[in-house]
Amino acid sequence: MTKTIFIAGSGGIGEAAALLLREWSDDGLAIILGDINEGSLAKAKDFVTSGSSRTTAVETVLMPREGESEEMREAFERADVLLDCSPGGQAPRMAGYAKGFGMHYANLTEYVAETDAIIELARDAETGFILQTGLAPGFINVQAMALYREFVSKFENENVERVAMKVGALTAHAHEPHYYGFTWSPIGVATEYVKDSRVIRDFKIAERPALSSRETIVIGARTYEADLTSGGAADLPDFFAGKARELDYKTLRYPGHYDWVESIVETLPKNESLPDRLQELMMQAIPSVEDDLVVVHASVDGFDSIGRRRMLEKAYFVEPLEINGKQLRAIQTTTAGPLCQSAMMLLTGKYKGVVLQSQIEPADFMRGRFVADIYR
């Protein structure tokens, strides 16, 4: 029986998800792309289907900015899963459609208020709602959970000293003074630089200002700097409260970047316009770059049952990927891959109600093709 996946949003992540699903899934899958922009829909469909021998159907649906159209309702009635690649502020609306039309649902947004609203909405849902299942939040959280489970099994201690999650959407080359290039949403970057980060300190959940806890780390013989940013920890602070002395999520950058950012932030008024103003000034100085690199590092350290300090860690370096002659940037595959894997998990029917990152079975998730063939 054909299963249908509706992808809301046909931008870079939406078209990457559609391409991965079409090229890597077994037969018996249909894809519907929805967007508010007709031109974006046509471009995404052509990108996904041109030059491919796969016969998986790809339809497009023009979505109104508000409310529902008859075409959209008809598509929702046929769909089994809604993958939400729309802007984060739209997530509660999309989740409402998923519940109302009996679809499974998975999203990417790191926004706290929107996530809380969806959790409340989906508590009694008959279908599964996997939230925050991209790169960060998403893959990095499942990888941290996998390391923690391994630590407990190996070293027989459920309490650990630190759980550290680090991700950098970087460029292959970097130039002064900013040592950076935009590979994804500039407003997303600016926002995570100024909003507080949820952490654990002394076994308790706390909030700390972004860019307030810098460290230097060597990964794969290359030196990076890392600092607190918002959103990437997902629900792991709730899971690890009382279990980890420290937990945090930090964004990786090349050395010198954060000093440059802080030199700008300190000149700006600290009000609601701060993310927009920071974005504006960063975009004047920083180029957008296609040749990207995603660096992922997770670690868990603590003491074993006889008091020896132990650490488990895992790192990945993900470069752009070519699929059937189509080039996908690293930020596209590392974000869309976990989302697609979540769709496959939802289609098994094992998931019902809200599924947070700490509740995903790491082994099932990490072994799935949409994760294993990207994070190698």
In the DSSP assignment, the letter for residue 86 is S
pLDDT given for residue 1 in this prediction: 80
User: Above 90 in pLDDT, residue 309?
Assistant: yes
- The pLDDT-based confidence of 27 (bands split at 50, 70, 90) is confident
Q: pLDDT tens digit string along 48-65?
A: 999 988 989 999 999 999
User: Above 90 in pLDDT, residue 22?
Assistant: yes
Sign of CA dihedral 205, 207, 211, 213: negative
Q: Residues of CATH 3.40.50.720 domain(s) within the chain?
A: 3-131+329-372
- The pLDDT-based confidence of 308 (bands split at 50, 70, 90) is very high
Q: pLDDT tens digit string along 110-132?
A: 888 899 999 999 999 999 999 99
User: Above 90 in pLDDT, residue 275?
Assistant: yes
Task: State both tokens at 66.
Answer: 């508000």
pLDDT given for residue 184 in this prediction: 86
| Average of per-residue pLDDT across 85-102 | 96
Q: Residues of CATH 3.30.360.10 domain(s) within the chain?
A: 139-319
Rg (CA), the chain: 20
| Average of per-residue pLDDT across 311-335 | 96
According to CATH, the superfamily of the domain at 139-319 is: Dihydrodipicolinate Reductase; domain 2 (3.30.360.10)
- The pLDDT-based confidence of 146 (bands split at 50, 70, 90) is very high
pLDDT given for residue 26 in this prediction: 82
pLDDT given for residue 58 in this prediction: 96
Helices (H), the chain: 12-24, 38-49, 70-78, 91-100, 112-122, 139-155, 186-194, 236-240, 257-265, 274-285, 330-347, 362-367, 369-372
If one looks up domain 3-131+329-372 in CATH, what number appears? 3.40.50.720
| Average of per-residue pLDDT across 201-210 | 98
- The pLDDT-based confidence of 21 (bands split at 50, 70, 90) is very high
